[in-house]
Amino acid sequence: MGSLPVAGGDEEKRTNEIGMAIPLLAQCDIAGKDITADALLTQRTLASHIVARQAHYHFSVKGNQPTLERDIALLFEKRAAADFVEVSPPDHGRIETRRIWCSAALNAYLDFPHVGQVFLIERETTIKKTGKFRRDVALGITSRTPGEASPQQLLNINRGHWIIESVHYLIDWNYDEDRSRIRTGNGPENISRLRRFAIGILKSFQKPSQSIAELMRMLSFNTRRVFDYLRMTKNSASVHQGT
């Protein structure tokens, strides 16, 4: 679940996003589905609503729920071998290793509705060209019990969430989509599809050390290259090959 397009400053946007989550879900048939959300929407009311609609939640846990975060972090503080490990093939010059630890030990203890298990995900990323290494740790909570979702399944659900979230982040950062004033008719959906199409094209030509913002700035000063990227010129093939 990504950010909702609301006007105003960051604090107003956060407030509206929480308030709009349930009304938005009320318009959808979510029975049997897995609803993912970042830490902002890790709220008891939303969790209860999702389960009451015969769906399951998968929430990130961060500092806005300090007690929940502390309890989960303490559980995994002295963790042994991971329950599941996944190594991704090089993607845009990166190698990623993801590990997940899961536990139902806190189900009866946590002050959170319908807990099935909690989890910790560790991501290690190495940039092949530079050797730069990064390690991130994320905590989470889900209504699915170990019998309903294996560590591998939880890792896949979490990865699917952040793939969507990363695309939304790119679009919001580069197009300021959350403050868009296009709100009538099919305008919002059409412009959103065009922006996602543009991001998809740019990512296909993106170099490992190059950000989408840098690529957009380069193209803004050389509009001829835009036609090359869209394969609308004779030399499009050489552009596609990175020459």
More confident residue, 241 or 24: 24
Where are the alpha helices (H) located in 109-242, listed in sequence order? Answer: 151-175, 187-205, 212-220, 223-229, 236-240
CA distances 180 to 19, 158, 171, 239, Å, are 19, 28, 11, 32
Query: Which pLDDT value is given to residue 104?
Result: 97
Average the pLDDT over each of 3-12, 69-78, 218-227 and give the range with the smallest value. 3-12
CA-based end-to-end distance of the chain: 38
Bridge partners of residue 118, in order along the sequence? 103, 141
| DSSP 8-state class, residue 144 | -
pLDDT at 121 over 50: yes
Residue at 114: amino acid letter: H
Nearest-CA neighbor of 59 among 45, 77, 76?
Answer: 45
Predicted pLDDT of residue 176: 61
Q: What is the DSSP letter of 38?
A: -
Query: 160 pLDDT band (50/70/90 cuts)?
Result: low
Ranges 85-94, 177-186, 205-214, most confident? 85-94
Share of the chain above pLDDT 70, in %: 66
pLDDT in the model for residue 1: 38
State how far the Cα of 153 lies from the Cα of 19, in Å rounded to an integer: 29
Q: Does residue 12 have a pLDDT over 50?
A: no
Question: For residue 242, what pLDDT band results from cuts at 50, 70 and 90?
Answer: very low
Residue 45 — pLDDT band, cuts 50, 70, 90? very high
Please calculate the CA angle 213-218-219 and round it to the nearest 5 degrees: 100
Domain regions of the chain by residue span? 10-178, 180-240
* Average pLDDT along the chain: 78
Kindly report the number of other CB atoms within 10 A of residue 174's CB atom: 18
pLDDT of residue 127: 75
Least confident among 22-36, 76-90, 124-138 = 124-138
Question: How many other C-beta atoms are found inside a 10 Å radius of the C-beta of residue 123?
Answer: 19
User: Which residues touch 88 (CB under 8 Å, ≥6 apart)?
Assistant: 94, 95, 96, 97, 98
